[in-house]
Amino acid sequence: MSTQEADTSSPGGTPAHGPLDVEQAEAALVEHYPRLVRIAYLVLPAALGRNRRVLAAHALVQRSLPRRRPTGAPLPKQRRAEDAVDPGYAYVRGEVLRRALRHRSRRPALLPRIWGLRVFPRAGGTDELALDQRLSELTAAGRAAYVLRGLERQGDAEARRVLAAAGVSDTRTALAEADSVEGMHALLESPEFDPCALQARPTDLMRRRQHGRAALAAAVATLVCGALLGLPGDGWGPAGAAAPSYARNPASEAALDPGQLRRVDPAVWRSSARTDFSVWPARGGLTGDSALLRRALAVWARPGQRVHASATPGTPPGPPMGPAQLLFAGEVDGSRVVLFHDGLRAVRYAEPVDGTGGPSLDFARTDGADAAGSAALVLTRTSANVRYLTAPWVRTTASRDLLRPAKPVLPLALDGYGVTDPMLSPAQARDCSAWPVLQLRDERGERLYADLGELAPARLTWGAPGAPGDVTGRAARESWARTACLLPTVRSHGVRSVNSWQYAEQRLPAGGGRAAWLCTRAETWRGTGARVLAQFQAPGATTGALAARSEVSPACGPREPRVLAGVLWQARTGQWYVLAAGTRDFVSLTTTGGVEARRGGRLLAVEAERGVRAQLVGKLANGMRVAALR
């Protein structure tokens, strides 16, 4: 991987955030409306047909503004010259991409609609038709990558960031798909792809007349059936926020019956061979509220349009396969909250007590959880605070600031249901001035958990990948104090645990002291998509500098503990150096490109010019050559 300048001003490339300015986003939408609709039109699947594709593109853009006007919601600032003109445009464009990537052709938007007419962009030439055909062969992520490169003029690094923010898990594959259609970028400005300059034609007039008669008959039948279904008995009445029921079978009916929920006795966990979510008892003041449980199960099975739903990557958001386990039902922070577990997922349903907003539904994959992985779940988030529901074996809870290892912990009280007092959460923080984490103690010891914006907090560990331990010692806490500000790079990624370990120490040239090299690996619940960060910690720096990162490498993990990374570093004398360090299995390091050098051992320090790019390769004892982390 090319070495990069060590920059501690924004570790990990984490963008700063400012308060959400809805007016700014609205102004950007109005100013750039044609361009945003063009982006949506290009990313949407060609299988929609040109008429529905045009209407869907307009619908996506018109729904891209924030629904509320809260203060403090994150809005990304401009990062590079190739990025959006202003933060408002960056926000709206990200929402348009996210919605276009998630669009399902079988669910046409209710608005806008045009009755009796078909609309479509003006026809282009043979080149435009060829490009449209090539784009239709790509995935939605591939089309989005092509549009960001060709229409938005973004480089690969920035395109990957925007794609990841829009929900694309494999950005490298998306860019590789876009590579297959290179050389036709200028055509994206063609009228062929302008859904704001339209032609109109009537639909089939004879078919419309036939459909009109059929619609009248269907309306009569619907009124009759609706009256029958609304009668007392076995008919399904209004389900509130749940969508209509389309199919029935005994298993589905059992899953929707509050009386069929599995409820574990409070003492089971003490004698059970398993210590995980399966032995959590049903707790909370509303576990006997059948009406609440019935609503929660109905919304889980069929979330309607009023439901704010979310799922961590790799988590199927579908209905339960059978009766789920009830973990909690109670009123917390102005909401009625229900927590379920079905063996694969933890599911949270929440509805406001005052009825001012729609319910929310959150899914998180939690299969394979052990005692440490099932120690807590997020119960509520309000403003900057978070409450947790803890496992029955948790004895004490506290809040600890990772950035201040010497500062005493702040004890958190537990109520009779295992619910913690509210504590500050860094999940929506706009800066890294503090990083509160949850500290839990049980009979096995003390553990730390970080809120990364998901239902299950991520466990933090320290040590070599083969046998990491909990963050309890002084060295572990001091190192995590300079690593915490890199955690935003793994937010909302389905992270199960984050391990950090110091794999090398290096004496810096020109009397610069001793620097530490660390590798941080975030493992996911789904087992794939782990993120690896190599970090350079210069002496005296308050936070580490990101030296390299990867989303596909087994490096720094139990399967392949070795790692190699390099940075460009400036000494106090003003001289620049290429620095590199690898794990103990490297016997020599070589740089090529901007700097030609070879050093024996696993450390390297070579004089260089500012801004130089050098390719770094290491050699193992068996003669195998290994490239730097990328």
Across residues 355-359, what is the average pLDDT?
Answer: 85
Of the listed ranges 37-51, 241-255, 355-369, 439-453, the one predicted with least confidence: 241-255
Across residues 413-417, what is the average pLDDT?
Answer: 96
Please tell me the predicted confidence (pLDDT) of residue 620. 95
pLDDT band at 466 (very low <50, low <70, confident <90, very high): confident
Output the pTM of the full model.
Answer: 0.63
pLDDT above 50 (res 225) = no
**Rounded distance between C-alpha atoms, residue 199 and residue 204, angstroms:** 16
Please tell me the predicted confidence (pLDDT) of residue 88. 82
Across residues 390-407, what is the average pLDDT?
Answer: 96
Please tell me the predicted confidence (pLDDT) of residue 550. 92
pLDDT band at 435 (very low <50, low <70, confident <90, very high): very high
Phi, psi of 279 (to 5 degrees): -110, 10
Across residues 537-555, what is the average pLDDT?
Answer: 90
Please tell me the predicted confidence (pLDDT) of residue 97. 94
Please give the structure tokens belonging to residue 509. 């040239």
pLDDT band at 296 (very low <50, low <70, confident <90, very high): very high
pLDDT above 50 (res 220) = no
* Sign of CA pseudo-dihedral 192, 197, 201, 202: positive
Of the listed ranges 91-105, 114-128, 429-443, the one predicted with least confidence: 114-128
- Residue 491 CB neighbours (<10 A): 18
Phi, psi of 238 (to 5 degrees): -60, 135
> In the chain, what is the straight-line distance between the N-terminal and C-terminal CA atoms, in Å?
5
pLDDT band at 365 (very low <50, low <70, confident <90, very high): very high
253: left (phi over 0), alpha (psi -120 to 50) or beta: alpha
Across residues 115-136, what is the average pLDDT?
Answer: 73
CA-based nearest residue to 528, from 488, 505, 559, 503: 559
Q: State the DSSP code for 368.
A: T
**Rounded distance between C-alpha atoms, residue 630 and residue 534, angstroms:** 10
Of the listed ranges 175-189, 235-249, 413-427, 520-534, the one predicted with least confidence: 235-249
Go through 117-142 and write b for each residue having 16 or more CB atoms within 10 A of its CB, e for each that does not: ebbbbeebeeebeebbeebeebebbb
DSSP alpha helices (H): ranges in 575-629?
A: none
Phi, psi of 537 (to 5 degrees): -110, 100
Highest mean pLDDT among 116-120, 381-385, 408-412: 408-412
Go through 173-198 and write b for each residue having 16 or more CB atoms within 10 A of its CB, e for each that does not: ebbebbeebeebeebbebebbbbbeb
Cβ neighbours of residue 21 closer than 8 Å, sequence gap 6 or more: 75, 87, 88
Phi, psi of 91 (to 5 degrees): -65, -50
pLDDT, tens digit (0-9, with 9 covering 90-100), for 45-101: 988 888 888 888 898 898 888 765 444 434 444 444 444 447 788 889 999 999 999
**Rounded distance between C-alpha atoms, residue 217 and residue 211, angstroms:** 10
Phi, psi of 382 (to 5 degrees): -135, 120
Phi, psi of 156 (to 5 degrees): -60, -45
DSSP alpha helices (H): ranges in 274-322?
A: 290-301
pLDDT band at 16 (very low <50, low <70, confident <90, very high): very low
- DSSP class per residue in 498-533: EEEEEEEEEEPTTT--EEEEEEEEEEETTSS--EEE
Of the listed ranges 91-100, 130-139, 527-536, 608-617, the one predicted with least confidence: 130-139
Across residues 5-33, what is the average pLDDT?
Answer: 55
**Rounded distance between C-alpha atoms, residue 364 and residue 315, angstroms:** 6
Write the single-letter amino acid at 360: S
* Sign of CA pseudo-dihedral 88, 90, 93, 97: negative
Beta bridge partners of 441: 396, 446
Better-predicted residue by pLDDT, 444 or 356: 444
pLDDT band at 9 (very low <50, low <70, confident <90, very high): very low
Strand order of the β-sheet with 625-627 is: 597-600, 586-593, 614-620, 625-627
Across residues 305-310, what is the average pLDDT?
Answer: 90
Q: State the DSSP code for 260.
A: G
pLDDT above 60 (res 208) = no
Please give the structure tokens belonging to residue 205. 């007039």
Please tell me the predicted confidence (pLDDT) of residue 628. 94
Q: Widest CA span of the chain, in angstroms?
A: 88
Share of the chain above pLDDT 90, in %: 57
Q: Are 93 and 36 in contact (CB under 8 A)?
A: yes
For 80-135, the three-class secondary structure string (H helix, E strand, C coil) is CCCCCCCHHHHHHHHHHHHHHHCCCCCCCCCCCCCCCEEEEECCCCHHHHHHHHHH
Cβ neighbours of residue 1 closer than 8 Å, sequence gap 6 or more: 548, 565, 566, 615, 616, 627, 628, 629, 630
What average pLDDT does the structure give for the chain?
Answer: 84
Please tell me the predicted confidence (pLDDT) of residue 291. 95
Strand order of the β-sheet with 385-390 is: 376-382, 385-390, 423-424
497: left (phi over 0), alpha (psi -120 to 50) or beta: beta
* Sign of CA pseudo-dihedral 181, 185, 186, 189: positive
DSSP alpha helices (H): ranges in 230-282?
A: 250-255, 268-271
pLDDT above 90 (res 510) = yes
Q: State the DSSP code for 544.
A: P
CA-based nearest residue to 455, from 349, 360, 378: 378
Cβ neighbours of residue 207 closer than 8 Å, sequence gap 6 or more: none
Please tell me the predicted confidence (pLDDT) of residue 83. 45
pLDDT, tens digit (0-9, with 9 covering 90-100), for 236-293: 333 456 655 544 567 677 788 999 999 999 999 999 999 999 999 999 999 999 999 9
Q: Are 423 and 436 in contact (CB under 8 A)?
A: yes
Please tell me the predicted confidence (pLDDT) of residue 599. 96
pLDDT, tens digit (0-9, with 9 covering 90-100), for 473-507: 999 999 999 999 999 989 889 999 999 999 999 99
Please tell me the predicted confidence (pLDDT) of residue 233. 37
**Rounded distance between C-alpha atoms, residue 150 and residue 182, angstroms:** 9
**Rounded distance between C-alpha atoms, residue 146 and residue 186, angstroms:** 12
pLDDT, tens digit (0-9, with 9 covering 90-100), for 516-536: 999 999 999 999 999 999 999
For 36-68, the three-class secondary structure string (H helix, E strand, C coil) is HHHHHHHHCCHHHCHHHHHHHHHHHHHCCCCCC
pLDDT, tens digit (0-9, with 9 covering 90-100), for 560-573: 999 999 999 999 99
Q: Are 145 and 156 in contact (CB under 8 A)?
A: no
Return the CA Rg of the chain: 27
Would you tell me the crossing angle of helices 140-150 and 156-165 to the nearest 10 degrees? Answer: 140
Helix (H) or strand (E) holding 339: strand 335-341
Four-CA torsion 377, 374, 443, 439, nearest 10 degrees: -40
Of the listed ranges 183-192, 202-211, 452-461, the one predicted with least confidence: 202-211
Across residues 380-402, what is the average pLDDT?
Answer: 95
